[in-house]
Chain A
């Protein structure tokens, strides 16, 4: 069964972190359709967070179609996230590695690369921006 972590410094809402970790686990093959997600009580016992947060995360997963709650039994994975097959992942990994190599030879250091990445990432995914 997946074991959740919590990164308090990341600035990402707790429930989203749980959702992302489920996505990650699905991608890595650690979770497969039919697997049961930990109960709210189990997550709370480990992380000492509000059980409503867990419910919210699982509702989000349900909304995305990745999981389903079965009353009295628990919450179960229904399918893998789409468009994340290993071939696609490998392609983007190659492209990213090439880009990084180019950036380094252009003289950019790790901090510059990190700043560029974060700016672009936020612009792409940030909530609330126009």
Chain B
């Protein structure tokens, strides 16, 4: 059984009367790049803040690397975090940020940090406030990577970057994963970013988890069926309808199933990740309950 880097059970967080996150049960496997996708306000930031210990749960439990979040400086050292908008100290120089990392982190790898800064072409004497958005994001990533965490959590790190800066950031991130085998959890509201880099996906909409699983398993278990008009109640038991649309003569369905589709009446086509996520994100779709974690034995 694969160990989970983040485990949540019935996790919920409420502010006064509204639930930012509800009934969240997850087991994010290690050694993966996990994408957390959903519309703005769906609860992604809340989930990540619960994982880093910035927030305490209202209900349920969450454990990170086997311990409660931010349980001790030792546990904090094992988890790297890059917050939304990748904050840096505007008046401090790039070099000072690296010293900050060295002072506060017992596991700080200064050689890695200096090497990355050099590769990125950042001027150590430059004040962080005058860096471009992409450079700031790379600096924040350097700080998170150089403490050599087992798990790296990033909250919408590329949301406000231009396409080139975005690609460079993800490239940097993937190089680090290739080199160190770090588990990564990153959130985004752009699916196209995640397709390249994620092999595990969680779809979060309106404070609930709509689906979660290995990307390859998700793609292998969802199909688009189109054929003559049909009542969805007539479908075999193993096929769950995620999305449906009907004209007077034709039905088009997006189904989730564990078995190949044998009915010759259907034209069966694979579904792209983006189509899959959009279908799960669409509030108009009445979704069946999420399957037990695909690809991770419970």
Chain A CB within 10 Å, residue with most, of B196, B216, B269: B196
Count contacts on B: residues with CB < 8 A to the other chain.
30
Count contacts on A: residues with CB < 8 A to the other chain.
22
A51 touches B174 (CB 8 A): yes
Check B54 for interface membership: any CB of A closer than 8 A. Answer: no
Number of CB contacts from chain A to chain B under 8 A:
66
A130 touches B175 (CB 8 A): no
The smallest beta-carbon distance between B143 and chain A, in angstroms, is: 21
Check B167 for interface membership: any CB of A closer than 8 A. Answer: yes
B residues in contact with A126, CB < 8 Å: 268-270
Which of A6-14, A86-94, A102-110 lies at the interface?
A6-14
**Other-chain residue from A6, A44, A52 in contact with B175 (beta carbon distance below 8 A):** A44
Query: Of all chain B residues, which has the CB nearest A49?
Result: B196
Q: A50-B198, A128-B223 are in contact. Are A45 and B270 (CB under 8 A)?
A: no
**Other-chain residue from A8, A40, A130 in contact with B261 (beta carbon distance below 8 A):** A130
20 of the cross-chain contacts (CB-CB < 8 Å) are A8-B192, A13-B219, A44-B174, A44-B175, A45-B171, A48-B170, A48-B197, A49-B196, A50-B174, A51-B178, A52-B31, A52-B32, A52-B199, A126-B269, A126-B270, A128-B268, A128-B270, A129-B260, A129-B268, A130-B260
Shortest Cβ-Cβ A-B pairs, 9 listed = A48-B171, A51-B178, A44-B174, A41-B178, A44-B178, A130-B262, A48-B170, A50-B197, A40-B178
Binding site for B on A (CB under 8 A): 6, 8, 11, 13-14, 40-41, 44-45, 47-53, 56, 126-130
Binding site for A on B (CB under 8 A): 31-33, 167, 170-171, 174-175, 177-179, 192, 195-199, 216, 219-220, 223, 260-264, 268-270, 272
Given contacts A41-B175, A49-B196, 18 further A-B contacts (CB under 8 A): A8-B195, A11-B272, A13-B219, A47-B196, A48-B167, A48-B196, A50-B33, A50-B198, A50-B199, A51-B178, A52-B31, A56-B216, A128-B220, A128-B223, A128-B270, A130-B261, A130-B262, A130-B263
